[in-house]
């Protein structure tokens, strides 16, 4: 330490934060080094000046307050779209899960509707209903006259003849 200059040590930390060992090393070195002594005295003085400055409390000027408020307003204006983005970022997982739930519920509803129609279609045992729905296997081969015959019990020819007589 005796050979090394202590100027760097003076600038590394505030003078008040230097340890006892460091201060004694500085004192030992400055006893023989006028350059470092001058630097040490200047460091002590600057420390004293800063402390004196800190003890003097000063209120910020009105101009500073105006500038500060303007800067805060600018910052808030700039943050506008970002705040929306932040809200979206926070809520997007919830929105996605809700959309997925809606799709699942819609799908289940459609599936349920399809199942009900199928059940209804095959639940009937009335031959007339089967005929109307076209589910009767025999209806495929039935002619128009046969259908009328089934419905009204009158031959189709008679109906035609009656119409002609009228």
Partner 1 sequence: MTRIATTTSINLIRHNKRRPESTFTDLTTEENEWLDNTLAILATGKERSIEDHLVAADLADKVLFTLPPDDRLILMLIDVDHAPVKEVAEMTGWSESKVKVKAFRARRRMRQAVEKLLKGAAN
| Tokens, residue 158 | 């008679």
Is residue 115 near partner 1 by the rule CB under 8 A?
A: no
Residue bearing tokens 């050979």 = 3
Dist CA 38 CA 16 (whole Å):
18
Binding-residue total with partner 1 (CB under 8 A): 29
Q: How far is the CB of 40 from partner 1 (least distance, A)?
A: 9
Q: How far is CA 118 from CA 20, 114, 148, 156, in A?
A: 94, 6, 28, 34
| Tokens, residue 53 | 């400055």
**CB neighbours of residue 119 within 10 Å:** 9
Q: Interface with partner 1 by CB under 8 A: which range of 69-77, 128-136, 140-148, 153-161? A: 69-77
| Tokens, residue 32 | 């023989």
Build a one-symbol-per-residue string for 12-51: x at contacts with partner 1 by CB under 8 A, - elsewhere.
x-x-----------------------xx-xxxxxxxxxxx
Q: Which of 44, 65, 47 is nearest to 55 (CA)?
A: 47
Is residue 71 near partner 1 by the rule CB under 8 A?
A: yes
- Of the two residues 13 and 121, which places its CB atom closer to partner 1 in the complex? 13
Q: How far is the CB of 18 from partner 1 (least distance, A)?
A: 12
- Of the two residues 75 and 126, which places its CB atom closer to partner 1 in the complex? 75
Is residue 59 near partner 1 by the rule CB under 8 A?
A: no
Is residue 67 near partner 1 by the rule CB under 8 A?
A: yes
Catalog residues that contact partner 1 under the rule CB under 8 A. Answer: 10-12, 14, 38-39, 41-56, 63-64, 67-68, 71-72, 75
């Amino acid at each position: 330490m005796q050979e090394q200059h202590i100027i760097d040590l003076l600038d590394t930390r505030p003078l008040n934060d230097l340890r006892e060992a460091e201060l004694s090393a500085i004192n030992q070195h400055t006893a023989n080094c006028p350059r470092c002594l001058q630097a040490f005295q200047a460091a002590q003085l600057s420390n004293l000046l800063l402390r004196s400055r800190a003890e003097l409390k000063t209120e910020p000027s009105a101009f500073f307050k105006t500038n500060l408020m303007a800067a805060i307003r600018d910052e808030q204006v700039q943050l506008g779209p970002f705040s929306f983005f932040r809200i979206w970022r926070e809520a997007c997982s919830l929105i996605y899960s809700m959309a997925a739930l809606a799709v699942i519920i819609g799908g289940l509803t459609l599936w349920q509707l399809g199942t009900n129609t199928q059940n209804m279609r095959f639940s009937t045992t009335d031959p007339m209903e089967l005929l109307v729905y076209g589910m009767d296997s025999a209806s495929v081969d039935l002619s128009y006259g046969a259908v009328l015959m089934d419905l009204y019990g009158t031959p189709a020819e008679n109906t035609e003849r009656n119409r002609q007589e009228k």
